[in-house]
Structure 1
Amino acid sequence: MAARRFPCICLTVVFLAMIAVVAVSQIALELRAGGPPQIAELFRQKPTRANLRRLESSLESGCRIGQMVRPWMQLARFVLLEDAGDNAILGRDGWFFYRPAVQYLIEPWSPEGGQTQGNVFDAIISFRDGLAKRGIQLLVMLAPNKASVYPEMLADRAGEHAGPINATTTDIVTRLKQAGVEIVDLFEVYDLAKRRAGSPACYLAQDSHWSPDGMRLAAEAVANRLVDLGWIEKRPTRYETRSARVERHGDVLRMMRVPQVERLFEPQRMDCTQVVDAETGQLYADDPNSPVLVLGDSFLRIFERDEPGSGGFVAHLASNLGFGLSSIVSDGGASTLVRQQLARRPALLRGKTVVVWEFVERDFRFGTEGWQRVPLPPE
């Protein structure tokens, strides 16, 4: 019995010694830097769940030894186990997927904090009705999750799939259409694009966002829908485009925060097009007096405010329509935050006849601040 217990005791002692060495080393480094040990915060505040979690997170991120060792451990996990960390999932052929977006597709929706499909529906209908009272039309553009469009790149067994994969998406979109909300169906647009032989991918392999080609397809679809509905008349275009190549690692790969892993992959090359004023040669810029206001998240930021600049959805929609637009962009906050920003900037609604509202599919469940009703500012 004693012989069998000896290895267990040794492992326990070694494990406790490692913990002690890290803790003592961290305290010594903090004292040497002239500050109090971070662990002292434990005795300066009430031991509530929130305070303990905050302290745990602070200790983890501030540990010097952890900062040195963690990247190499993450590299080993990635190479040996294909573990891409908390925010990323490694798919096939070097494709990366944003973990919350995949969770939205495959995990049952267990609403937390009162968030339900009804909240989503009510918030959108309320916004549509509030705009309608001012004579403003609402067009919703749902940006599909990358895994909804390319499930076959997530896993072999996923296979090809046309249309929304998640029943929640189908249910909410169906209810909204039945309630008279106008929606641009990018699932259909991208499915048709995938079926065309030799067509470029609509999403970036290392990124959570659409590719330049996928973005241009979305801009064309929205422009055509606005014209078909009779809400907007196209004007003779005042814009032209010019090519701009961009090379960078995608946001999902960078979310790992492990340079050693990034170096395993070549930066992705993107053939973008910038929108410029045909007369002045200046890059596209928003027009606050435009009749069209565009609201959205990072799908509107990419290529527009990031490199190459003036080459994203808003600029290309303006090019398709022939005139400048107004826009509000809030990374990760298109469900509620972008409408809260609009409520604080009432001047942006003056003279508007159309609002285009983009949000990503996963926000049905994971939208920042949920789906709140946000009253429009007084006229």
Structure 2
Amino acid sequence: MHAALKRSVLSLLALAAGSSSSMVMGQDFSVVVKDVLANSQATTLAVPGADPNWLFLRRELEHLDIGDLSTVNLAVVNKEKTDPLPVIAKYAADLKALGVDLLLVPVPPKAAVYPQKLNAGVDVATVPSLVPFYGKLQAAGVEVLDLETLFKAQLAENPDKQLYCATDSHWSPYAAQLVADVVAKKYQALTMPNPSFGVLPEEKLEFLGDLVASGAAAGVAKEGLPMQRAGKVDPAKPGQVGTVDSDPRGPIVGIGDSHLQVFRRGGNMLATQAGFIDHLQEKLKLSVEEFSMQAGGADGPRRNLARATAANPEFWANKKVVIWVFTAREFTQGRWKELPVQVKKK
């Protein structure tokens, strides 16, 4: 080939390769999030993704817009101007002084696990990770269950297993059960033989979630997700299980936001007997004492727990573990107050 022609061909190939590489890299996630926020009203509850049947909570995107939490001053960027790290670390230390372990279970944002559902052309490598911030928590003495890594591994291994609801702000029934399995294996030593707990075969749950505004419901398809119910077995009612309610006699305390209630409480929580607590109880064959609320997972459940200790000075006598489940956006949007693990009456 003539030298000049060869150089021209090589130049064209290099340009094509560069163009191809650029296409593969895709859009920076931070730019995608900023564009979505800029093109939606601040009062909007949810925004549609690349697939219009996938909706994303706007407040969660505002949380993701902050980026890597390990590199920012949370006392400044947090909406309530409170830093979660020292508050959580002190809570863990105070529990440890009572002989009780704390397991922190932050639920990562849906768009961080499914960024291509938000924008099909996004570069997934640019999504900010929670893992560096978890490292700071762990260095401060807090044990964290890293669901981000768990969920991404599950998504790679089982892409057909949906980890979040498309039309709701919560994890899916599959994810709630998956996390319950992981936590149960960690505390297997607490298992008690109890044949009254059981799990039912898989069924399909059809619903429109909390991200669907009533006026937009007609334009969004109802989603159907598999779930299994778990609870108390009644021999007189084959094919059914009953909800096992919060029990103060159990060695485990579950505190948190609506991620503890979804698929457990029914109504706007979508189903019963299929939530995280239900499956955790079934796996361990013991009941859990629960303090949960639909919002305010940073301090609300801890405040209710503190009230329970005031009413019962022996509250912690038989407790072994506190499992604290909340949406990760609480790190930048929650009100983090120091609250006592034990309230003593004067």
TM-score when normalising by structure 1: 0.69
Correspondences of 1:146-185 after superposition (within 5 Å)? 146-161=110-125, 165-166=127-128, 169-185=130-146
Q: What 5-or-longer segments of structure 2 have no aligned partner?
A: 1-38
SS in 2 for 1:246: strand
Q: CA RMSD in A?
A: 2.5
| 1:356 shift after superposition | 0.4
Q: What 5-or-longer segments of structure 1 have no aligned partner?
A: 1-80
1:275 to 216, 219, 230: 230
- Distance in 1 (CA, whole Å) between partners of 2:62 and 2:164 is 18
- Distance in 2 (CA, whole Å) between partners of 1:142 and 1:225 is 17
CA contact (8 A) 1:177 1:183 kept: yes
- Distance in 2 (CA, whole Å) between partners of 1:177 and 1:205 is 32
1:246 to 174, 187, 205: 205
CA contact (8 A) 2:99 2:320 kept: yes
SS in 2 for 1:263: helix
What do residues 113-146 of structure 1 show as CA deviations (whole Å, max 9, x unaligned)? 7625xx2111111111111121111111111111
CA contact (8 A) 1:206 1:250 kept: yes
SS in 2 for 1:92: coil
Structure 1 residues 244, 262: CA separation in 2 closer, same or farther (over 3 Å shift)?
A: same
Aligned to 1:115: 81
Aligned to 1:87: 45
What do residues 70-106 of structure 1 show as CA deviations (whole Å, max 9, x unaligned)? xxxxxxxxxxx99896121110222100001011112
- Distance in 1 (CA, whole Å) between partners of 2:124 and 2:192 is 36
CA contact (8 A) 1:207 1:252 kept: yes
Aligned to 2:243: 284
Aligned to 2:305: 342
Aligned to 1:69: none
CA contact (8 A) 2:46 2:55 kept: yes
Structure 1 residues 234, 157: CA separation in 2 closer, same or farther (over 3 Å shift)?
A: farther
SS in 1 for 2:281: helix
- Distance in 1 (CA, whole Å) between partners of 2:179 and 2:111 is 17
Which structure exhibits the higher relative contact order, with contacts defined as CA atoms closer than 8 Å and separated by 6 or more residues?
2
Aligned to 1:189: 150
Structure 1 residues 304, 112: CA separation in 2 closer, same or farther (over 3 Å shift)?
A: closer
Higher helix share: 1
CA contact (8 A) 1:121 1:172 kept: no
- Distance in 1 (CA, whole Å) between partners of 2:125 and 2:211 is 23
Write the letter of the residue equivalent to 2:258. S
- Count of residue correspondences: 285
Write the letter of the residue equivalent to 2:49. G
TM-score when normalising by structure 2: 0.75
CA contact (8 A) 2:93 2:141 kept: no
Aligned to 2:33: none
CA contact (8 A) 2:206 2:222 kept: yes
| 1:224 shift after superposition | 1.8
CA contact (8 A) 2:231 2:281 kept: no
| 1:238 shift after superposition | 3.7
> Which is greater in Rg?
1
- Distance in 2 (CA, whole Å) between partners of 1:210 and 1:365 is 19
SS in 2 for 1:191: helix
Write the letter of the residue equivalent to 2:86. D
